[in-house]
Amino acid sequence: MNLDIKNNKNGVFSGLAILIFCAILGLFFVAFSMNSESALMFWGLGCFGIYRFYKSQKMYCNSTPLSKILACFLLIGSAILGFFNLSGLAEFFILIAILLFFGGIDFLLGALIPILLWFAVVPNIESINQILSYPIRIISSQMSSFILSCFGYAVSTKDSVIYLNDNALAITAACSGIEQLETILAIAWVWVVLMQNSLLYRIIQFSFTIPAVIFANALRLITMMLLTDIYGEDFIGADLHFWLGIGMIIVSSLIVIGIGNLFPKAQ
C-alpha cells in the first residue's frame, strides 16, 4: 500500500536530503576508485534503485525510539571496529547508524541495497573482480570447448587455456568477461525491474544474468578461436576484442530479456 506523500511531506524531503548526502559520499568513492568506470556503473545502479523506491512513495523519514537505539549500538560497533583498524567497515556502520537515527528502519531497508553498492562494492571493485574472474574464465573455457567439440573440432582445455589444432588461447582476466560484467548487471537489473512487478520474478530473472554472461563469453571465445585458426593470431587485435565485447553485452542482455518474457504477465 502506497503512503500519502502529502501527509509525510517533511519526512519525504528529509529522506531525499539524506539520500543526496549518501550519493555525494558515493561519488567520492567513485572519484578515488581504481576502476572508475565500474564504480560509476554501480553508483548509477544505486541511484536507479533509490529512484524506483522513492517513486513508489514508500520512502520517507519516520525514526522511532527503536531505530535510534539500534543506531547507538551501531555507533558503538563502529568504535570497536575503528579500534581494530577496520576503518572501512566502521565508516559503513556510521552511515547505517545515520540512516537509522534520522530515517528509521523502513527508510534504511529501502536504501540498503544502493548504500551497499556505493560503500561496499565500489571501494572493493578490483578485489571483487579478481575473485569472480577466475571461475568465470574456467567455466567459459570449458563451455566453449564443449560446444566446439560438438561440431567436430579437435579441442581441449587445460585450466583456462583452450587448444584448437596448433593454436592456444589463454583466457586472461580481460577475456573472462569481467570487464563487461558491471555493464551487463546494470542493463539486466534495469530491465528486470521494468519487466517484472513481482519481487520473486525479479530475483529469478536476475539470477540468470551470470549464466547468460558465461554463455555469451563462451560464444566470444569460440569466435576468437575460429578466427585465430583460420586467419592466424595477428588477426585478433584490439578493435576485434572491443567489438566482441560489445557483442557479448548485447547477447547477454537479449538472453536476460528473453527469459523475462517467459514469466506470466501481471493482469
Are both 113 and 146 inside the same structural domain?
no
The set of cell numbers assigned to 47 is 541511484
Q: Which of 67, 99, 126 is the last residue of a domain?
A: 126
> pLDDT tens per residue, the chain (267 residues)?
333 334 455 555 666 666 676 667 666 666 665 555 566 666 666 676 666 666 665 556 677 888 888 989 988 988 888 888 777 778 778 878 887 887 788 777 777 777 777 666 666 666 777 777 778 888 888 888 888 888 888 787 777 778 777 777 777 666 666 767 777 877 787 788 788 888 788 888 888 988 898 888 888 888 888 887 777 766 666 677 778 878 888 888 899 889 988 887 655
Whether 205 and 262 have beta carbons less than 8 Å apart is answered as no
174 shares a domain with 252: yes
Sheet with strand 155-158: strands edge to edge: 155-158, 161-164, 167-170
CA distances, 4 to each of 33, 57, 212 (Å): 39, 7, 40
Looking at the structure of the chain, the number of domains it has is 2
Do 140 and 120 fall within a single domain? no
- Does 95 reside within a domain? yes
If asked whether residues 117 and 211 sit together in one domain, one would say no
Residue 104 lies in a domain: yes
Residue 4 main-chain phi, psi, to 5 deg? -80, 110
Question: Residue 64 is which amino acid?
Answer: T
Note whether 153 and 187 are same-domain residues.
yes
Cβ density class 29-55: b for 16+ within 10 Å, e for less: bbeebebeebbbbbbebbbebbeebbe
| Sole residue written with cell 571501494 | 123
Range of the domain at 111: 5-126
Choosing from 81, 109, 126, the residue where a domain stops is 126
Q: Is 265 within a domain?
A: no
**75 and 131 in a common domain:** no
Q: Whole-angstrom Cα distance, residue 29 to residue 239?
A: 31
Give the model's pLDDT for residue 1: 33
| Domain shared by 137 and 246, yes or no | yes
Residue 193 belongs to some domain of the structure = yes
The β-bridge partners of 155 are 164
Query: What burial letters (b/e) apply to 221-230, b meaning 16+ CB within 10 Å?
Result: bbbbbeebbe
What is the predicted pLDDT for the residue at 55?
64
Pair (244, 161) in one structural domain = yes
**What radius of gyration do the chain's Cα atoms show?**
23
**Residue 266 resides in a domain:** no
Question: Same domain, yes or no, for 137 and 120?
Answer: no
Does residue 159 sit in the same domain as residue 109? no
